[in-house]
Structure 1
């Protein structure tokens, strides 16, 4: 792998971890170092850090809080 690509990956802990979990990317980058941007995008999808994933997580949290609120409210009404 090219030295500059390797240094960039070593600076990004999450990318380094991703490559260890997905060794196919090490081979891909060795053959084509310009795929670094694809690696970053794939890593975001793998760790679910894309905007749609974050929106889904927020939605789930809001739904959970709403459900807890209504559950507490119904318990209060029973007493």
Structure 2
């Protein structure tokens, strides 16, 4: 694997972990080092760090907080 590609992977913890979980990328990057951008994109989706995933996580968090607030309000109204 080219040294610049290896340095880029070593500098990014997510890419390093993705490469360990998907070892086929060793071969792909050795044969075609320009596919590093494709690997970065796949790693973002694999670790659910894409924009749609983050929006979904935020929405779920807001819904959970809203449910907890309504539950506390209901408990206080009963007393």
Please give the range of the TM-score, normalised by the shorter of the 2 chains: over 0.9
Residue 31 of structure 1 corresponds to: 31
Residue 9 of structure 1 corresponds to: 9
Per the normalisation by structure 2, the TM-score is 0.94
Per the normalisation by structure 1, the TM-score is 0.94
1:18 CA drift (Å): 0.9
Q: Please, which runs of 5 or more residues in structure 2 have no aligned partner?
A: none
RMSD: 0.8
Q: Please, which runs of 5 or more residues in structure 1 have no aligned partner?
A: none
Report the Cα distance in structure 1 between the residues aligned to 2:10 and 2:75, rounded to whole angstroms.
Answer: 53
Residue 73 of structure 2 corresponds to: 73
1:24 CA drift (Å): 1.0
Runs in 1 of length 4+ with deviation above 2 angstroms? Answer: none
Residue 18 of structure 2 corresponds to: 18
